[in-house]
Amino acid sequence: MRDIAVIASAQIPSERRSDLSEIEMVQKVVTGAIEKSGIDRRAFDFWCSGSADMLCGRPFSFVSALDAIGAWPPIRESHVEMDGAWALYEAWLKLQSDPGLHCAIVYCFGQSSLGPVPDILATQLDPYYETPLWPDSISVAAIQARALLDGGRYTERDFAEVAVENRRRGKSNPNAQLTGDFSIEEAMSGPYISSPLRKHYCPPLSDGACAIVIASREKVDELGFAAPAWIRGFDHRVEAQSLGVRDLTSSASTQLAGRRAGARGDSLDVAELHAPFAHQELILREALELGGSVSVNPSGGALAANPIMVAGLLRICEAAGAIHRGEAKRALGHATSGPALQQNLVCVMEAN
């Protein structure tokens, strides 16, 4: 396997409703990531993006975003109808499979303000039995949370503690959408969105964008980059689509992806988990065997900012950033997609 590292990233602050168009959002983050990397825009060997046509309501909506990166000179480009974390996986595989390629840029964007995202996400469910019932994504997550409570493994207070901690940590993140302190008691007395999920246990609806640059060891050495975040393990797994045929209180796909990526909980300094709902962080912590020594979601996680199709890649960007800043030697970025943690991706990175 080739040594490939994350060397730069950029994001825009998450907002409930951005004044920027998709093209403007992409232009900002792509330009920012390129400037941080020190690589000429024309020197990139591969470009890959992640977004959602279903959200925009038009086919091939990602093509318009290409206006932000320019049509000349010609580029090698690809797109995934997924969170940008899966676009990063494709770009990493592309560099692994061709020794003639040395650097790639990945970007993703999403505007939750374009439509009723919780309702739109019902299209991810089983098309014969579940989608016709049209349960929104919060109701699906509430079924998962109820299963945890009924199983006696966690209490609602555990959910509240996760929510309070993530919002507290989000105060130090200038790109977070929701910040501010509130007590566990205040969280537990908030209104139900879908029982047993209260307002603070659910993610914000956000507009946002993110870009990330990866490069081979040859390119890193050429640039003289001082603090690369070397990707040491990368894996993603998927579970059954139907909610009734899997255990919603655990995440077998996260556990397997973590093991294949070498995510030993006792060896990590930082873990950025894409847990849009408070109870899902508890499930992911168990699956990845994260102990108390691991700093989980120092950025505030998806409970502080949750731009659709972007929040997963943001977790990898934040984990890599901890290495770039010298705050971690080994960090993990996690992304999820699908209903109730159906698909999960794990990326493990190390410092020099």
Q: What is the pLDDT of residue 114?
A: 87
Q: What is the pLDDT of residue 301?
A: 97
Q: What is the pLDDT of residue 134?
A: 95
The CA distance from 152 to 274, in Å, is 24
Contact in structure between 36 and 9 (CB atoms under 8 Å): yes
What are 336's two structure tokens?
């999820």
Q: What single-letter DSSP state applies at residue 114?
A: G
Q: What is the pLDDT of residue 314?
A: 98
- Using alpha carbons only, what angle is made at residue 91 by residues 62 and 73, rounded to the nearest 5 degrees? 60
Q: What is the pLDDT of residue 266?
A: 83
- How many Å from the N-terminal Cα to the C-terminal Cα in the chain? 17
Cβ of 70: how many Cβ atoms within 10 Å? 12
The CA distance from 88 to 73, in Å, is 22
Please state the pTM of the whole predicted model. Answer: 0.96
pLDDT by 10s per residue, the chain, length 352: 899 999 999 999 999 999 998 889 999 999 999 999 999 999 999 999 999 887 777 777 778 788 888 767 788 999 999 999 999 999 999 999 999 999 999 999 999 998 899 999 999 999 999 999 999 999 999 999 999 999 999 999 999 999 999 999 999 899 999 887 899 999 999 999 999 999 999 999 999 999 999 999 999 999 999 999 999 999 999 999 999 999 999 999 999 999 999 998 889 999 999 999 999 999 999 999 998 999 999 999 999 999 999 999 999 999 999 999 999 999 999 999 999 999 999 999 999 9
Give the count of alpha carbons within 13 A of 291, CB side only: 8
Q: What is the pLDDT of residue 64?
A: 78
The CA distance from 242 to 79, in Å, is 26
The neighbouring-strand residues paired with 350 are 230, 330
Name 292's Cβ contacts closer than 8 Å, sequence gap at least 6: none
> What domains can you pick out in the chain, each with its CATH number?
4-114+205-223 (3.40.47.10), 117-201 (no CATH), 229-350 (3.40.47.10)
Q: What is the pLDDT of residue 60?
A: 75
Name the 3-class secondary structure at 85. helix
Contact in structure between 260 and 321 (CB atoms under 8 Å): no
